[in-house]
A and B are shown apart, each in its own frame.
Chain A
Amino acid sequence: MTSKLSFLTQTSLNRKIKTKWFVVVNIILAIAIIGIINIDSIITIFGGDFNKKQEVYVIDETNQVFDLFKTNVENTDISLNEKEETSFDIVKYDKTIEEAKEEMQEKDNLWLIVFEEDETTYLRASVISNGYIETLDYQIISQAITNAKTTIAIENSNISSSELEAIYAPATIERVILDEDKTTEGENSSMIMSVVFPVVILPFFMLSLFLVQMIGAEVNDEKSTRGMEIIISNVSPQTHFFSKVLAGNIFVLLQGFLLFAYGALGFLVRNLLGGSSITNGVGAYVGSLLDVFLQGGLGDKLIYIIPLALILIVLTFIAYSLLAGILASMTTNIEDFQQLQTPIILISLLGYYLALMSNMFHGSLLIRIISYVPFISAILSPSLLMVGQIGIIDVIISIILTIVTNYLLIKYGLRIYKVGILNYSSKDLWKKMFKAMKN
Chain B
Amino acid sequence: MRILVVEDDADAAGAMVRGLNEAGNEVVHAPDGAYGLIEAQKGGFDVLIVDRMMPRLDGVGMVETLRGMGDQTPVLFLSALGEVEDRVTGLKAGADDYLVKPYAFAELIARVDALARRRETGGVQTVLKVGDLEMNLIARTVHRGETEIDLQPREFQLLEFLMRHAGQSVTRTMLLEKVWEYHFDPQTNVIDVHISRLRAKIDKGFDRQMLQTVRGAGYRLEA
Pair from one complex = no
